[in-house]
Amino acid sequence: MARPTNRAITGKTLRLAALVLATALFSPAVLPGTLPLPGTARAAEGSTLAAPTGKVILEVSGSIAVTNTSEGSAAFDRAMLAAMPRSAIETTTPWTEGAQRFEGVLLADLVARLGATGTRITARALNDYSYAFDLADATSHGALIADLTNGKQMSVRERGPLWIVFPLDEMKEMTEVERHEMQSRMVWQLKQITFN
């Protein structure tokens, strides 16, 4: 009887494994640079998502299992995002003065809630600027979809209503090239996320 051979592990397999591990392990309590907010226990993963009743501020599409639109995407209003597990990051950015406190939903929690798969995320802003990056890397670095800065909703003029933020001050080991890459992922005036 022939012995079974080990299958080669491809880059795609490794990226998928890293995404699954990041989603499973990185709850708001353990992500670097993030703080879970009181009263925001991790929501149970559901197979349904209610339709938004207010103005839609985020549309999520692509490789997701949970949707609430006829187009197969997930639409969120402000109240829906506020009802998800909340986290906070206090960090400086090149675009703000001094340390700011950002509050919102961890990308890892959005991935878990929607059953998102894939290895890449594309974030698109209101002005159609978009940036694509590695999903596992973003979740492991504590990417936050912020809807509050210093306790206040962000207007479009203030880079809102949503802004992808990373805890830059916690990433001191990064080279300048890595820091620039991380900053490029911080899409403000976020309107759409696509998982692929």
Task: List, for residues 76-100, the tens digit of each pLDDT value.
Answer: 999 999 999 999 999 999 999 999 9
**Confidence at residue 47, expressed as pLDDT on a 0 to 100 scale:** 67
142-164 core/surface letters (b: 16 or more CB in 10 A; e: else)? bbbbbbbbeeeebeeeebbbbbb
> Please, what is the Cα angle at 47 between 34 and 111, to 5 degrees?
30
Amino acid at 106: L
* Encoded tokens for 102: 């950002």
- Tokens 């159609």 label which residue? 128
Q: Which residues pair with 74 in a beta bridge?
A: 60
**pTM of the full structure:** 0.76
Residue 141: CB partners within 8 Å, gap ≥ 6?
Answer: 32, 166, 167, 171, 182
Q: How far apart are CA 194 and CA 196, in angstroms?
A: 6
- Which domains are present in the chain? 30-41+50-195 (3.90.420.10)
**Rounded percentage of the chain residues whose pLDDT exceeds 90:** 65
If pLDDT is split at 50, 70 and 90, which confidence band does 174 have? Answer: confident
